[in-house]
Amino acid sequence: MPPGKGKAMGMTQANAPIFEALRRHKQNNVVRLDVPGHKGGRGNKELRDFLGADCMAVDVNSMKPLDNLCHPVSVIRDAEQLAAEAFGAEHAFFIVNGTTASVQAMVMSVCKAGEKIIMPRNVHRSAINALVVCGAVPVYINPGIDKRLGIPLGMALEDVRRAIAKHPDAKAILVNNPTYYGICSNLREIVKLAHQNGMKVLVDEAHGTHFYFGENLPLNAMAAGADMAAVSVHKTGGSLTQSSFLLCGKDVNHDYVRQIINLTQTTSGSYLLMVSLDLARKNLSLHGKEIFAKTLEYSTYAQREINRIGGYYAFGRDLINGDTVYDFDSTKVSVHTRAIGLAGVEVYDILRDEYDIQIEFGDIGNILAIVSAGDRALEIERFIAALSEIKRIYAKDSAGMFDHEYINPEVAMPPQRAFYSEKESLPVEASKGRICGEFVMCYPPGIPILAPGEQITDEIIRYILYSKEKGCFMTGTEDMSVSRINVVK
């Protein structure tokens, strides 16, 4: 086999090439006349004492024995090949700029300025950021809405079919698999429709690492035949924060994809992040079934017990309708809170401030807890007990609460044109009817309420003000207080 193609020679999933190379490097006691300047921690004792000497010793720069992330020819190449094999992909890239970089590389690999891409509007801001950078034009599909929960669902297959028929020149379709709430679209059929019409399928699988290794979970992107997938291994796979894989399927020129990645990814790839991906892949390959069986055991128990409290609704597979909720990620503990008179973000704040429990996020009507095999049964019980007590102490009438998370946008111009246009700053309350020139979102989850190029409506203004009032962490605007918004002149 030629270098860089196929399986790493003589290696199995029990190997971890980057980890093994770093261990050899550490044992060699090499004189450090290169960067980083902390010199294995000796130059910054407080940091070394905090992170640990072992960690600092392997925070190193690219060198021949350790390969180079921008142009891997040895240990990183071998690690990529093992990752591709583990995930059922043709090729895998180590990404150290977060899954944001993976998503942007996917979009920029298939779309040039002026070309169209079909996507649901409830994408992460990273996808729309990619459009701002490369000048591609979105064709938004408004996701289904669950009226009881007020949350966006997946893409209806008929909506995808209509978008393809109306925009046959689109280059690709981007799909969330799953959404932040755990909802999956009919990925296999979307892939089939796209490929029949000469379009690529890109999958934002930031929250779907476990789909590749667990059982009784939704279909993963590579198994569905998707062309590329951005997989945030740090979220549910055990690697360090900011580490990610970008996976490529068949008929993707991965050498070109690497060039696109190298346009924006650092030339000083963190070996701490890379080795975490390498060891996470090894661990998942060898033990993933058991890991995610335990995760499902915890999440299923939590959902059942939370629903027994009353008032809360821990939703799950009962939402499946064969279309806009084609499948559901049962590892997600997504809980609707509005019936007890509290916004999700209010429950989120109370859990943290009063009970020392940090969950993933709270929005206007829901909370999300990320559960994994790394949790302990006692912690799950503590979370359930805290929710019960919060209901007893804080529950109130739900009248007057904002009842939905997603507002269909009115797109007036492409994101790149709006973002780089001449703008003026207005108070949010005075911006009705204008075209937004920046982002407005609650983080997490980082799905824009407003994106560049969208019309500002009364409903959106009310939503922004209500979110601020309830304590959502608002981001995206130039004005750090999110009291003013930049609009196109």
Regarding whether 167 and 201 lie in a shared domain, the answer is yes
What is the rounded average pLDDT of the residues 147-152?
87
Q: What is the C-alpha to C-alpha distance for residues 423 and 256, in angstroms, rounded to an integer? A: 36
Higher pLDDT: 28 or 85? It is: 85
Task: Establish if 219 belongs to a structural domain.
Answer: yes
Domain shared by 201 and 56, yes or no? no
Q: From 66, 82, 106, give the residue that closes a domain.
A: 66
Q: To the nearest whole percent, how much of the chain has pLDDT over 90?
A: 86
Do 124 and 167 belong to one domain? yes
Task: Supply the CATH number for residue 78's domain.
Answer: 3.40.640.10
**Do residues 165 and 274 share a domain?**
yes
Is residue 409 predicted with pLDDT exceeding 90?
no
Q: What is the pLDDT of residue 230?
A: 98
The answer to the question of residue 81 being in a domain is yes
At 87, is the pLDDT very low, low, confident or very high (cuts 50, 70, 90)? very high
Does residue 79 sit in the same domain as residue 186?
yes
How far is it, in rounded angstroms, from Cα 283 to Cα 291?
A: 9
Average pLDDT (400-418) is 84
Question: Residue 300 sits in a domain of what CATH number?
Answer: 3.90.1150.10
Cis peptide bond upstream of 65, omega within 30: no
Average pLDDT of the segment spanning 253-266: 96
Give the model's pLDDT for residue 8.
66
Query: Of how many residues is the chain composed?
Result: 489
Does pLDDT of 208 surpass 80?
yes
Has residue 95 got a pLDDT over 60?
yes
Four-CA torsion 239, 383, 393, 315, nearest 10 degrees: 80
Supply the pLDDT for residue 7: 61
Q: Which residue has the higher pLDDT, 143 or 165?
A: 165
Q: Could you tell me which of 258, 179, 180, 190 has the C-alpha nearest to residue 226?
A: 190
* Domain closes at, from 280, 299, 314: 280
* Pair (300, 330) in one structural domain: yes
Average pLDDT on 263-275 reads 96
54 and 76 in a single domain? The answer is: no
Q: Quick check: is 399 in a domain?
A: no
**Residue 405 confidence (pLDDT):** 67
For 299, the domain range is 288-394
Same domain, 50 and 155: no
Give me the pLDDT at residue 406, please.
73
Question: Domain of 426: which CATH number?
Answer: 3.90.105.10
Q: What is the mean pLDDT of the chain?
A: 94
In a domain, 25, yes or no: yes
Local confidence band at 5 (pLDDT 50, 70, 90 cut-offs): very low
What are 48-71's pLDDT values in tens digits? 999 999 999 999 999 999 999 999
Would residue 48 count as lying in a domain?
yes
Q: Return the minimum-mean-pLDDT range out of 20-34, 350-364, 392-406.
A: 392-406
Q: Please determine, for residue 93, whether its predicted confidence score (pLDDT) is greater than 70.
A: yes
* 383/296 same-domain check: yes
- Contact indicator for 230, 204 with CB cutoff of 8 Å: yes
**Are residue 54 and residue 149 in the same domain, yes or no?**
no
pLDDT at 150: 83
The answer to whether position 101 is within a domain reads yes
- Say if 119 falls within a structural domain: yes
Q: Is the pLDDT of residue 177 over 80?
A: yes
pLDDT per position as a tens digit, 295-342: 999 999 999 999 999 999 999 999 999 999 999 999 999 999 999 999
Same domain assignment for residues 464 and 477: yes
| Count of structural domains within the chain | 4
Mean pLDDT of 135-159: 92
Asked if residue 402 is part of any domain, the answer here is: no
271 and 301 part of one domain: no
**Residue for token pair 């569905």:** 224
Last residue of a domain, one of 235, 259, 280: 280
Q: How far apart are CA 244 and CA 367, in angstroms?
A: 25
Give the pLDDT of residue 6.
47
